[in-house]
Structure 1
Amino acid sequence: MAGDRQQTTDPHTGSPRRRVLTAAALAPLLAAAPTPARARPAPLPHEPITPGGRELIEPVHTTLADWKKVAKALGRTGDMKRKVMYHTGLPRRDLRVDSHHVRVKAPLALGSHVSFVRYADDSTLVMGDIVVTEHELQDFVDTLQQHRLHLTALHKHLLSQRPDVWWVHVHGHGDDPVAMARGLREAFDGTGTPPDKASDPDQKVDLDTDGIDDAMGAKGSVDDGIYKCIFVRREKITDGKLVLPPGLGSTSAFNFQPLGHGRAAISADCCMIAKEVPRVLRALRKADAKLVELHNHGLTDEPRLFFVHVWAVGDAVRLARALRHAVDATDVVPAGS
């Protein structure tokens, strides 16, 4: 737009003429003009304003007694972790899976599990990572959806596996944890997942665990013959408005299965934020670890989390020392700290 027009008189003819005011000439006039106040929209009554734009809801402490009905609905017993997570493990000991000529034990990479968390608004979150065969997969997902339980990730943890096995990440949030447990139970019953039964887990491991601990910078633990070093993210992780307890959906795990003579098969899962991904992947490849999958586990986590599953076979301590560089490239601490 050229500008406004102002009427003047021609000095030669005395007739009126129009003078054009340019945009440059108009600018000081417009700057001096008062600007009408703009009303700020009022916040919706059900969405109170908070510093981060969200009203975060914290988890609350619970005990095993609070989850008796959930345990009955699942048909399996669980345990408490960090006083807020009711955790139930469902290892697929029924499966005989080989990867790169290694017979994979259930605690190495075939350990299904689900965790329930109660929140300050009396709602409950359930998250899980479930092992299913390719034959079981579609019916398992259909059953979850019938019970309003959501699939948030589908991927593999192992390379060159026989038979084909998939890992399904499950998410549910609502006011009735027992109903969610019943839905999970129905989905599990459509698979070969073994029923809950007493077992005598193997607490012996033929590895230099002190050497692994020194190399990884964390004290590991034995889980049915598998040595595990676990790390958790330092920062607060949220899922929508829910604050996730440390370690729920945000762990890095390095599992060592003894192969004899100090050697181990390692199945690992590194949890990263976006800016850490390139450095971690470089560190893993320099450690001679094979990359399996790079993906997300959740839909609305913040900060956005990425996970890379890896596989390695060799001297356990040497591999642990090399994998430590990948750990150091992420903002994590040992789970027990």
Structure 2
Amino acid sequence: MSSLRRLSQVFVISIGICATASQVEAQQQGTVDAGRIEQITGLKGTYSKQEKVFKISKPRNDVKVQVDGLTMPPFMGLTSYAAFKPAQGSQVMMMGDTALFEDEVNPAMSAALDAGLEVTALHNHFFFDQPKVYFMHIGGHGDAAKLAEGVKKVYDRIAEVRSAHADPESAFPGQIANPSSISPAPLEVVFGSKGQTSKGMFKVVVGRTASMQGVTVGNEMGVNTWAAFAGTDDEAVVDGDFAMRESELQAVLKSMRASGINIVAIHQHMTDETPRILFLHYWGKGKAVDLAKGVKAALDAQSASAR
């Protein structure tokens, strides 16, 4: 073995020992290993001694954004961040918010889910913004290094999208035929239930119940999952809404993204309901039967996660 190779191995071992030592030190002090997080993400962060939180941030200054005629500086809220705080034992909690353009949302979401992170909300923070900006909230609980690696993968995926197209795209890939002439029968077979039809379109609705202020609310009050199809059997679009308990959200997200269906919003429609219900809005393009199978798979995943 050459002396250069031996020196290289010693250097690698030394780095590993230092990283382990810093992790132990951070655990003993009840803090997170800030240096390791910075090393993994390639971003410098700040530490709040009062809250024991280490936060990295990444300003969105790669695309010019105007909101209500104002050219938005990142300081005004156009910034992504991930914050890390010690939890139980050696575990760390991570929470973050990611500023995204429309064509980045679903690639970034898939990157987060594939990396073991949770996606907890997706919504807008502005009106009259050009191009449109959305914010995807992420979270996780576990090893700090793995959480930081997940955040890095999300940011890298965003950079890949922008590298391929400097300007945000204005539409999802794929075609939607017009006028609509969806065949109901094959979709009813997929869902195992009858649906509604109107002017060549098809819709299926699945209701559930919750309680608000002592009153039971259900399907007709808007507590439901639905899928509506337009276009033709070969060039269709599906849009809809999933009503879910919090514990069902991640399973539905993973299933929908695995089927290539785009998530466009995650939020609540009510307050003080029991159990708490989240709503997920989506949009997909493709063959009608394939889209129906994707939605049905998410319904099955939701059902399985509720057990």
TM-score range, shorter chain: 0.3 to 0.5
Structure number having the greater helix percentage: 2
Q: TM-score, normalised by structure 1?
A: 0.36
Larger radius of gyration: 1
